[in-house]
Structure 1
């Protein structure tokens, strides 16, 4: 039948569809932030910039980008 250009569908007689049920997500406990001890060094040639480990990644990226130009 498919070779004749007709749509071939499986026999669905007696098949029932079950509605989908989705459970509400269970709130998960957020991990406590661990206090950072230490430093992060960004080195470019003769220039070294030392950050506290709690410095946001976006700020470190800004300064690293500025050092690269």
Structure 2
């Protein structure tokens, strides 16, 4: 039938649908931020970039993209 351009549907006789039940959300404790005085090393081949651990994620991403090119 599909070769003739007709829509083929599965046989749904006797099939029932179950109503969706949603439970109230439970508050989740947020993890406390980790404060570190360490460093982050980005290594690509012979290039080693050492950054302070407090460097913003956006800046680290920019440097990683620059190293990838």
State the alpha-carbon separation in 2 of the partners of residues 8 and 43 from structure 1: 58
Give RMSD over aligned pairs. 3.1
TM-score with structure 2 setting the length:
0.54
Unaligned runs of 5+ in 1: 1-6
The higher radius of gyration belongs to 1
Unaligned runs of 5+ in 2: 1-10
User: What is the CA distance between 1:51 and its match in structure 2?
Assistant: 0.8
TM-score with structure 1 setting the length:
0.54
Alignment correspondent of 2:26: 26
User: What is the CA distance between 1:54 and its match in structure 2?
Assistant: 2.4
When residues 9 and 40 of structure 1 are mapped into structure 2, their CA distance, relative to the original with a 3 A threshold, is same
Pairs aligned (count):
58
